[in-house]
Amino acid sequence: MILVTGGAGFIGSAFASLTDCLVYDSLTYAGRNSHPRLARGDVRDVRNLERVVRENGVDVIVNFAAETHVDRSIVDPLPFVENNVLGAVSVLEVARRTGCRLLHVSTDEVYGDVEGADESYPLKPSSPYSASKASADLFVLAYVRTYGVDALVVRPSNNYGPRQHPEKFIPKAIIRTLMGMEVPVYGDGRQRRDWIYVEDTASLIMRLVSEGEKGQVYNLPGGHVVSNLELLQILGEVMGREVKVKFVGDRPGHDRVYSMRTKLRYTTTPLREGLRRTVNWYLENRAWWEPLLEDRFVGEVSW
Ligand SMILES: NC(=O)c1ccc[n+]([C@@H]2O[C@H](COP(=O)([O-])OP(=O)(O)OC[C@H]3O[C@@H](n4cnc5c(N)ncnc54)[C@H](O)[C@@H]3O)[C@@H](O)[C@H]2O)c1
């Protein structure tokens, strides 16, 4: 049985929809996706997590649980250390005690501002979010070495697709454009990101459940590297609407580029096709995202 920690979130829910599994999630503001087999709980609650693992005959944990919004981490870093570092070490502890295999989901942001990072690149995170993710990765590798835990690290690039919280760049741009509002763009908008469609990430991680080797790191780039302005241009074409850009002051420590190489071989959904599916999903699922527009972030609208 696979346990999907953080499976009520964006990528975790896409992964959980691929197989018969159990979801374990503390249902934060970002955990909004239901699942027929959902256990509510915090990954930091080691005793409860261990009980759920044992009672359900779990033999693989795929850990997506994390605080994930870089802007929130800049305003308030401690929850990122608590959920992303202590949370990951708690999952590792349960894997160690129960003998479970663990796939830990990290991010391309751990490499920092770098072009073409392969899996052996040094970690040079720039934000509290990416520093917390890099710290967790180091714990995973330490648990493999010290305790022989059967664990590996997966580092996807920027994901987009259905069921992503409106505070993230692409849903925010889609929703604001649908509402005739401007889309805020940091700095000069020329920061480049590598985009991967969430269903591609989910199926690649599923492949690694059986094929991934203990102690290895696997980059999962989407292979579609564009600047934020180029992304909005393509999105406008896909939506058949003008995307109104509003330049705002840059994010502190903002990385100019994320781009990775990978030792795996695969193809991904073309960016336009993924964006077309994403836009359609947001058009057809207003009831999912409209209530989330109420979420506040340090007194501001978060989207
Ligand atoms: N979205 C991206 O572009 C992207 C890219 C690369 C890597 N990642 C990583 O993938 C993972 C999933 O990202 P996402 O975008 O789906 O995030 P998300 O914010 O949509 O979902 C995170 C989920 O984790 C849950 N969670 C948070 N803290 C928890 C805790 N202490 N215990 C139990 N559950 C907890 C939340 O309730 C939520 O359901 C994260 O680890 C993230 O760092 C995301």
CA 189–ligand 1 middle distance (angstroms): 25
Q: What is the pLDDT of residues 117-167, one digit of tens each?
A: 999 999 999 999 999 999 999 999 999 999 999 999 999 999 999 999 999
Q: Is the pLDDT of residue 299 over 60?
A: no
CATH topology of domain 2-295: Rossmann fold (3.40.50)
Residues with a catalytic annotation lie at: 108-109, 129
Decide whether any atom of ligand 1 lies within 6 Å of the 38 Cβ: no
Domain spans of the chain, in order of start? 2-295
pLDDT, average across residues 245-257? 92
- The whole-number pLDDT of residue 295 equals 79
pLDDT in tens, 180-214: 999 999 999 999 999 999 999 999 999 999 999 99
Neighbours of 162 (CB within 10 A): 20
- Across 9-13, 134-138, 212-216, 256-260, least confident range: 256-260
What's the 226 CA to ligand 1 centre distance in angstroms? 23
Identify the residue whose tokens are 């250390």: 81
Q: Does 298 score more than 60 pLDDT?
A: no
* Ligand 1 atom nearest residue 165's Cα: 20
Q: CA-to-CA distance for 62 and 65, rounded, in angstroms? A: 9
Residues 6+ positions from 231 with CB-CB distance below 8 Å:
169, 170, 173, 193, 195
- Distance from C-alpha of 222 to C-alpha of 201, rounded to nearest angstrom: 8
Q: Are 221 and 158 in contact (CB under 8 A)?
A: no
Q: What is the pTM of this model?
A: 0.97
The atom number, within ligand 1, closest to the CA of 129 reads 43
pLDDT digits (tens, 9 = 90+) for 46-80: 999 999 999 999 999 999 999 999 999 999 999 99
The per-residue DSSP string of the chain comes to -EEEETTTSHHHHHHHTTSSEEEEE---TT-----SSEEE--TT-HHHHHHHHHHTT--EEEE--S---HHHHHH--HHHIIIIIIHHHHHHHHHHHHT-EEEEE--GGGG-SEEEE-TTSPP---SHHHHHHHHHHHHHHHHHHHH---EEEEEE-EEESTT--TTSHHHHHHHHHHTT--EEEETTS--EEEEEEHHHHHHHHHHHHHHPPTT-EEEE--SEEEEHHHHHHHHHHHHTS---EEEEPPPTT--SBEEE--SS------HHHHHHHHHHHHHH-HHHHGGGGG-EETTEE--
**Smallest Cα–Cα separation from 212: which of 46, 78, 63, 101?**
101
CB atoms within 10 A of CB 121: 16
Across all residues in the chain, what is the average pLDDT? 96
For 265-270, what is the mean pLDDT?
Answer: 98
Percent of the chain scoring above 70 in pLDDT: 98
Residue 30 CB–ligand 1 contact under 6 Å: yes
In this structure, the residue with its CA closest to atom 1 of ligand 1 is 159
